[in-house]
Structure 1
Amino acid sequence: MIKKALLGAAILAVSMGAMAQEKELLRIIGEDKQFVVQTKNGPFVITRTMTPCAKNKGWLQPLIPVPGVHPVTEIEMLHAMNDKDSLIVDMREPDDRIKGTIPNSYHIPYTLVSGRMDELGCAKTAGKWDCSKAKKVYAFCNGPVCPQSPSAINAMVRDGFPADKIYYYRGGMLDWDALGFPIVKDDF
């Protein structure tokens, strides 16, 4: 009986090891799916796999996606909620927003933001954006590995939005949810 139990445990351990090896490696920086760290015991390879907490397959985003943009935490996001000159903008796809978003946030998908900067306080004259009266924009998406809001921020700045009026919440929905803050669903 003990031999059968030990054999069963060994088979289970081997099959679980095989399952762990089959996990899809996710991107870490750019296209790279591994990062090598030199340790006192030699090279150590860091990889990233999907877990219940790692909710998307993006790659690590810089803390400051464009020079002049301000990185912010949840504290600044909370204060922005009461600032009439600020707009918290969910830059995710509509399907993600339906599942839940930060209360009182405004939705402009990242692929559309450069064409909708009038909603952020800019005015279009002679085919160019004048953003001299732009609101402070607190941009977020799915979290530290989501490229949606950094892509939108790049497009905004390229088209004339002042980088110093953009506040990037890199933690996004992943951190907001993990910290236990309220989420509203089906808010459009």
Structure 2
Amino acid sequence: MRSTMRKTLEGIALGILLLVLSAALAGAEELEVGIAKDMPSVTVKTPTGETTIKRIQDTENEISGAFAKTSRACPPFCIQPMTPAEGVATIGELELIALLQDPEAIVIDSRTADWYGKGTIPGAIHLPYTVIAEQLDRLGCEVDFDGWDCTGAKRVALFCNGLWCGQSPTAIRAMIAAGFPAEKISYYRGGMQNWQLLGLTVVKP
């Protein structure tokens, strides 16, 4: 009797364990194309809730549309320097993703509204390069008698359309001129073109 009862309980426990394992495996999507070796995907907070950033899984996918273009008239679409201003750190996708996961950091899409409306990086806020120096209060600065007091400035990262886009470099220089500390600014030079070239998630605002 005890032996039968024990076998029944073991069978029930095994069944529960198998159900839990199969549910966990079903919930964990297996990605062929990850972001990095130990990072298949990441989840970031956005104004509309959490969004998962991952890469397009179709290994035959190719970039198309505006970001497939290799050549644009220069000026205005000239290749940008690696560093837009002294003291500013230029970063890549993994560093940008780390900032997107940092609740104390702000990632800024500094493009004009028409570009922003076509799609942006999940978790980025829109602050166009044309007005950013007037809205440093959104980035931890305070208005004082001389302009801006940026003692409490947050860590920020700016991006625009890519290596040929001058919008985020212009925004960065305007921020520094207004008193924002250069060492608190990162520049994602690859911008939307590199982001999409790598098949990373884009959201419509």
State the SS of the aligned residue for 1:156: helix
Unaligned 5+ residue runs, structure 1? 1-49
What count of residue pairs does the alignment treat as equivalent?
137
Q: 1:76 aligns with which of 66, 88, 95?
A: 95
Deviation of 1:128 (Å): 1.2
Superposed counterparts of 1:83-122, under 5 Å: 83-122=102-141
Matched-pair contact (CA < 8 Å) for 2:155–2:185: yes
Matched-pair contact (CA < 8 Å) for 2:84–2:169: yes
Deviation of 1:126 (Å): 1.1
Matched residue type, 1:53:
K
Matched-pair contact (CA < 8 Å) for 1:131–1:161: yes
Structure index of larger Rg? 2
Matched-pair contact (CA < 8 Å) for 1:87–1:137: yes
Separation in structure 2 between the aligned mates of residue 169 and residue 115 of structure 1, nearest angstrom: 22
- Say yes or no: does 1:183 pair with 2:202: yes
Superposed counterparts of 1:39-188, under 5 Å: 52-54=68-70, 57=73, 58-185=77-204, 187=205
Unaligned 5+ residue runs, structure 2? 1-65
Question: For the structure 1 residues 55 and 134, does the alpha-carbon distance in structure 2 shift closer, same or farther, using more than 3 Å as the test?
Answer: farther
Deviation of 1:179 (Å): 0.4
State the SS of the aligned residue for 1:81: helix
Structure 1 length-normalised TM: 0.70
Question: For the structure 1 residues 78 and 51, does the alpha-carbon distance in structure 2 shift closer, same or farther, using more than 3 Å as the test?
Answer: closer
Deviation of 1:56 (Å): 5.0
- The aligned counterpart of 2:53 is none
Matched-pair contact (CA < 8 Å) for 2:111–2:168: yes
Matched-pair contact (CA < 8 Å) for 1:55–1:174: no
Q: Which portions of structure 1, spanning 4 or more consecutive aligned residues, are displaced by more than 2 angstroms?
A: 50-57
Structure 2 length-normalised TM: 0.64
